[in-house]
Every structure is written in C-alpha cells, then in structure tokens.
Amino acid sequence: MNRSLENAKKTTSLASQIQAATGIALHHCYQCGKCAAGCPVADTMDLPSCQVLRLLQYESPEFDRQVLQSEAIWLCLSCETCHTRCPQDIGTPKVMNFLRGEAMRLRLAHPRSKDTQAFHHAFLGSVGRHGRLYEIGMLMGYKLRTGHLLKDMALGSKLHEKGKLNLLPHAIEDKAALKRLFKQTLNNPDSKE
C-alpha cells in the first residue's frame, strides 16, 4: 500500500487529517469527560477517550505518536455511547476507527492489538474470498496468525454440535465484483477513514 508512504511524508497533524477525512473538529471538544464517564471500557484503556482527544488537540508529533501507539484505540468497541451523549457531538468512534487504520499503516499499533489486527485481516480475507464470512476459514486464518491454536477449540465443537458452524463456505455468485471492489478501494488513496 503506497498510502503509508504518502502519509509518512505528510507533516499534517492527526487532528487535521481527521477533520479532513471525517469532518470531526477535535478542537470543539470541551474536555468535559462525559465520554469517558460512560465508556464501558474506559477503565481498561490506557488513555480514556477524552485523553486521546486531548493529546490530539495539541497537534504535536510526539503526542500524535503516543495516541497511535496506545492500546486504547484498539479497545474502543464502537458502541457510540460517548458520541450519543457528547455535548459537542464529537464522533469519537469514528476518530478511533481512523486512528486504528493509521496505526496499522504506520506500523505503530500497540503490541496487544496484534490479535485484533489479525482478526480484521482474517475476517476481510474470508469476505474477500467468498463474499460472505466463512467462519471456520476465518477462525483458521485468525489462529494461524496469532498462534492461539487451542483457545476456544471447545467452543468450536459446541457450536458444531448445535448446528451453528458451516463446514463449507457459502460464496456469493458475483465474486468478480467483490474482487474489483476490494482492489479498487484498498488502493484508493483518499479512502482513509
């Protein structure tokens, strides 16, 4: 992906990139903390959401980097609780999403996010191949990437028992269309966020 190179060359702050890509103006944030107060994972996060935004408000390379390296951005569940209650209507989940993409591209992602990244890759790999999720294939892919070979095996067999796992993929018909879509969008330079 040539985009990462391009981004590396850019000196613009994350805040301005976020504004350009999502329209969200981080300097509108009051730092009132209402988002963190309701966030289901705030106490698991190394940086509660309002702190992530605070660091971005500085628009300094060091703080931007700290944010990209944080685990918090990988812990966000996109549950939209913060956004719904924010007095300034800041779409924090969108910001988090952007940051995850950026962290992956710049290879700054927090080490504990490996699993999550692997999951996304495995998931999209499966969707790209079949057009729909092939759970066994996806789980195989995930486990191969993470090495968590044994974890959850018991669950898998239970699911199978209950008739909830498909042993063969259900592919869509127009796979060519899917391929095209993947190819074009993953290479589209302005498709960040």
Partner 1 sequence: MSRVGVFVCHCGENIGSTVDCPEVAERCKQMPGVVHAEDYKYLCSNPGQNKIKQAIKDHQLEGVVVAACSPRMHEPTFRRAVTDAGMNAYLCEVANLREHCSWVHEEADSTTEKAVDLVRLQLEKVKRNKPLQPIEVPITKTALVIGGGVAGIQAALDIADSGHKVILVERSPALGGHMAQLSETFPTLDCSQCILTPRMVDVSRHPNITLMTYSEVEHLDGFIGNFKATIRKRARKIDEELCTGCGECLQKCPSKDISDGFNEGLTTRRAIYVPFTQAVPNIPVIDVENCRHYQKKKCDRCVKACPTKAISFNQQDELIHVDVGAIVVATGYKVMSTEKFPEYGYGTYPDVITGLQFERYASASGPTQGVIKRPSDGKEPETVVFIACSGSRDAAKGVKYCSKICCMYTAKHAMLLKHKNHNSKAYVFYMDIRAAGKNYDEFVRRAIEEDGVKYIRGRVSRVYEEDGKLVVKGADTLLGGRPVEIKADLVVLATASLPNDGQSELARKLHVGCDEYGFLAEAHPKLKPVETNTAGIYLAGACQSPRDIPETVAQASAAAAKVAALLSRSHLTREPIVAEVNRRPAPLHSDCTGCFLCESACPYRAIGQEEILDRDGIVIKTIAKINPGLCQGCGTCVATCRTKAIDLHGFSNEQIFAEIMSL
Partner 2 sequence: MRIGYYPGCSLKSSAREYEESVRALCAALDLELVEIPDWNCCGASSAHVMSADLALGLRTRNLAQAEAAGLDEVLTPCAACFSHLAEARMELADNPNKRQEVADFIGLPYSGRVRVLNVLAVLDRYRDRIAAKVKNPFRYKVACYYGCLLVRPPEVVQFDRPENPQSMDRLLEAVGAKPIPWACKTECCGASFSVTRTDVVANLSGRIVADAVKRNAAAIVVACPMCQSNLDLRRPEINQQLEQEHGIPVLYITQALGLALGIDPQQLGLQRHLVPVELPEPEPEVVTADDDDDDD
Residue 67 binds which entry of partner 1, ligand SF4, partner 2, none, CB below 5-8 Å type-dependent: none
Residue identified by tokens 């609780």 is 81
Report 35-94 residues binding partner 2 (CB under 8 A): 40-41, 44, 75, 77-81, 83-84, 91
| Total residues at interface with ligand SF4 (CB under 6 A) | 27
Sign of CA dihedral 66, 72, 77, 78: negative
Count of C-beta atoms within a 10 Å radius of residue 14: 22
118: closest CA among 140, 95, 151, 93?
A: 140
Contact string (CB under 6 A) for ligand SF4, positions 99-138, x = contact: ----------------------------------------
Find the binder of ligand SF4 among 16, 21, 22, 41 (CB under 6 A): 41
Report yes or no: 92 and 131 within 8 Å, Cβ to Cβ: no
Q: Which stretch binds partner 1 (CB under 8 A): 79-87, 119-127, 164-172, 178-186?
A: 79-87
Count of C-beta atoms within a 10 Å radius of residue 170: 10
Q: The tokens of 141 are what?
A: 């892919």
Any contact of residue 66 with ligand SF4 (CB under 6 A)?
A: no
Report yes or no: 38 and 82 within 8 Å, Cβ to Cβ: yes
Cα separation of the two ends of the chain: 15
174: closest CA among 125, 131, 121, 140?
A: 131
Any contact of residue 30 with ligand SF4 (CB under 6 A)?
A: yes
Any contact of residue 49 with ligand SF4 (CB under 6 A)?
A: yes
Q: Which residues bind partner 2 (CB under 8 A)?
A: 21, 40-41, 44, 75, 77-81, 83-84, 91, 97, 100-101, 104, 115-116, 119-120, 123-124, 127, 131-133, 135, 139, 142, 152, 155, 158-159, 162-166, 170, 172-174, 177-178, 180-182, 184-186, 188, 191-193
